[in-house]
Structure 1
Amino acid sequence: MSVSIRLAKFGKKNAPTYKVVVANTKDKRNGRFIDVLGFYNPHQKTSSFSIDKEKYEEWQKKGAMTTQAVEKLVSGKYNYTKYNPKSKKIESSTEV
């Protein structure tokens, strides 16, 4: 069983918050998880991030893979960008 440390999405529509969780890699993003290590809220003026370093290091020693987002959050280099879908161009059809 391979295990990963990743972000699980929680919160309201258009205002997500994330939990840093340890989960089986085959489970869904918001599915079952083994342990909660911390949280991340990008919508405050100063985005708040908290993680239990001891648990994080313990799970890494056990062989848990870490996602890029969690690695950047822990190192302090993560930049949250809100998803903005591209607007669809309306094609005008000229039929004669």
Structure 2
Amino acid sequence: MALKMRLSRGGSKGNPFYRIVVTESESRRDGRVTDQVGYYNPVSDVPQIELKMDRVEHWLSKGTIPTVTVKKLITAYKAKTAGK
């Protein structure tokens, strides 16, 4: 089975919070998780993205397929941390 890197929703109604997780492509959105590699909070004043880049690179090297949204978040995180 293929692994995917995707968002898993948390938080309360109207106040979403997403974990960036590695999971099997067949499992449910909030189902069994292989690894949690970060989080995304779109509701804060400045949207917060935090990633464990060593784990992200590890899973991508193993052939994990990120969703379109997760690809955008990884790109944004790299741009944010490049200036530091």
- How high is the TM-score relative to the length of structure 1? 0.78
Q: CA deviation at 1:67?
A: 0.4
Aligned-partner residue type, residue 35 of structure 1: D
Question: Highest relative contact order (Cα 8 Å, sep 6+), 1 or 2?
Answer: 2
After superposing on structure 2, the runs of 4+ consecutive aligned residues of structure 1 that deviate more than 4 Å are none
Q: Is 1:11–2:11 an aligned residue pair? A: yes
> How far apart in 1 are the matches of 2:15 and 2:22?
23
Structure with the higher helix share, 1 or 2: 2
Q: Is 1:73–2:49 an aligned residue pair? A: no
Structure with the higher strand share, 1 or 2: 2
Larger Rg: 1
* Equivalences for residues 3-82 of structure 1 within 5 A: 3-76=3-76
- How high is the TM-score relative to the length of structure 2? 0.89
**Aligned sequence identity (%):** 32
> How far apart in 2 are the matches of 1:43 and 1:60?
27
Name structure 1 gaps, 5 residues minimum.
78-96
Provide the aligned length of Structure 1 versus Structure 2: 77
> How far apart in 2 are the matches of 1:59 and 1:74?
13
Task: For residue 76 of structure 1, give the secondary structure of its aligned residue in structure 2.
Answer: helix
Name structure 2 gaps, 5 residues minimum.
78-84
Q: CA deviation at 1:54?
A: 0.5
Task: For residue 30 of structure 2, give the secondary structure of its aligned residue in structure 1.
Answer: coil
Q: CA deviation at 1:76?
A: 1.4
CA distances 1:50-73 after superposition (whole Å, capped 9, x unpaired)? 000000000011010010000001
